[in-house]
Amino acid sequence: MQFQSIDPYDGRVHARFDVWDAGRIEQALGDAAGMFPLWRDTSLRRRAELLARVGERLLMQRDELAEVMCAEMGKRLVEARAEVEKSAWVCAYYAEQAEAFMADEPVHSGAGRSVVVHEPLGPVLAVMPWNFPLWQVFRFAAPALVAGNVGLLKHASNVPQCAVLIEDVIREAGVPAGVFQTLMIRSGQVDAVVRDARVRAVSLTGSEPAGRAVARAAGESLKKAVLELGGSDAFIVLEDADLAWTVERAVQSRFANAGQSCIAAKRFLVVEAVADDFVARLAEAVRALEPGDPRAPQTTLAPLARADLVSEIDAQVRDALAQGARCVTGGTPLPALGPNFYAATVLEGIRPGMRAWEEELFGPVALVTRVADEEEALSIANGSRFGLGGSVWTRDVARGEALARRLTCGAAFVNDLVHSDPRLPFGGCKDSGYGRELSRHGLREFVNVKTLWVR
C-alpha cells in the first residue's frame, strides 16, 4: 500500500510513499527510545539553539514548503507562505522562552528546600491533520522537543511530502537523528503505537472519531493525551458592531483555507436590529471571492482538499435547505472548476435538527441565525456540544468582554477573529477536546511536574 500526494486542483499525483510494515515501525520506536536519554541530557540551552535553527531553516525554505502545501492540500500560496512563517515563529518563541518555562520553581514549605522541577516524559506521538500541515505539527513539536522529549509524527495520509519535509528540516537544522521521526503509517496502525510502552504520551488534532479512539487507547495505557478536535465557533454580532470591520473579519474567519479550519467562525449569531445589513454586506463580500488555481494571485477561494469533503459539505447544505433554511448565495459544488470546488455559501434560518446546526461544517459555508439580543445569542452559542472558540463584535469593549467571559470555549475574542498565537494557550472544552497547546501551558502538557523535597 502507498500514500499518494494528489494535487486537489488538477488531480496530478506528485509523489508516492510506501506504508511502513511492523518491522519499520519497530525500528523507529526503538530509535526514539534509544535517543531519548541522549536528547533529555542535552543541555536546555543547546536544545533551544537547535530549535532556533529549525525556525531559520523554515524561513530559508519558505517557498519550497509553501509549494508542497499547495500541491498536497490545495492551500493558496499566500496562505501557505504565511503558515511557514508562523511555524518559524513558534520555533523562535519556544527557543527564547524555554529557559523560563522549564525553570525550577522554589516553594516555601516545611522542608529545608522544596522545588518543583519539570522533566520530559519521553517519546511523544503526534497524530496531525492535513488542513494546516506545517503549523499543526510545529505547534506540537517546538515545545515538546525543547522540553527534552522526542517526537513521533503520524501525519495525515494526503500530505506525505509535508510529513517527510518536516523531518528533513528538523534534521538539517542539526537536531540529531531519532529525535524527531515521521512514521509512514495508516490510521489503523496508530492504536498499536499509542499502546506501545515506549511511547509516553500522545497529542492529536483531528476529528472526533479519531480523538475518541486515541483517547481510549491512551486511557487504557495510562498515558497523557492532548486532544484538539472539531469546532463550531460562534460569531456574535451585537447591534452596535462596526459592520464594515465585522464583515471584513467574518469573511476572513470563515473562508480562509477554503473554510477548512476548526477555529473558523461557523455560526453567525446576529442581533435582529442589524441582521439585514449584516447579511447583505456578508453576501456581497462572499460573492466577490474568486475560486480558482491556489497558485494564482487573483484566487481568493481555494479548492477543498478532497472530493469527499465536497460531497460532505454539500450534503449538509442540502439537508438544511430541505428543512427550510434559505440560501443567500452559493450552495452548490462548482464542477466546472474541478471535483474539489464548492461555492462560497451563506445560509440563513439554521435551526436545531439540521445537520448544519448539530455538526461541524468543514468548508466554505457560513451559517446565519438571527437573535433577539445578546442573551439569546449566548444561549445558542453555549448550547453547542463544541467549545473551541468564539467571538463577540461590539463597539462597547467592556460589554464585549463581559459577554466573551460567559462563552463556554477555550478562546474568546472581542472584535477580532479567533486565531492561535504561540504566546497564548490554545485548545477547547466539551466535544472540542482537552489539554492545551502553545504558551507555557502547552510546554507543560508533556513534562513531569515533579516535587523535590530536601530536608
Which phi and psi angles does 342 have, rounded to 5°? -135, 140
Nearest to 446 by CA among 102, 210, 99: 102
- Give the integer Cα–Cα distance in Å for 428 and 444: 17
DSSP string, 170-217: HHHTTPPTTSEEE----GGGHHHHHHSTT--EEEEES-HHHHHHHHHH
Cα distances from 231 to residues 183, 218, 246, 408, in angstroms, run: 27, 22, 20, 12
Which phi and psi angles does 336 have, rounded to 5°? -65, -25
- Give the integer Cα–Cα distance in Å for 205 and 386: 14
Nearest to 442 by CA among 8, 139, 158, 205: 139
Nearest to 374 by CA among 279, 236, 240, 243: 236
Taking phi over 0 as left and psi of -120 to 50 as alpha, with beta for the rest, 20 belongs to beta
Strands (E), 129-176: 150-154
Annotated catalytic residues are 228, 262
- Give the integer Cα–Cα distance in Å for 338 and 316: 20
- Return the C-alpha cell found at 246: 465585522
Cα distances from 72 to residues 9, 28, 68, 279, 328, in angstroms, run: 9, 25, 6, 34, 32
Nearest to 227 by CA among 449, 389, 436, 444: 436
- Give the integer Cα–Cα distance in Å for 303 and 426: 27
Nearest to 446 by CA among 147, 197, 33, 221: 147
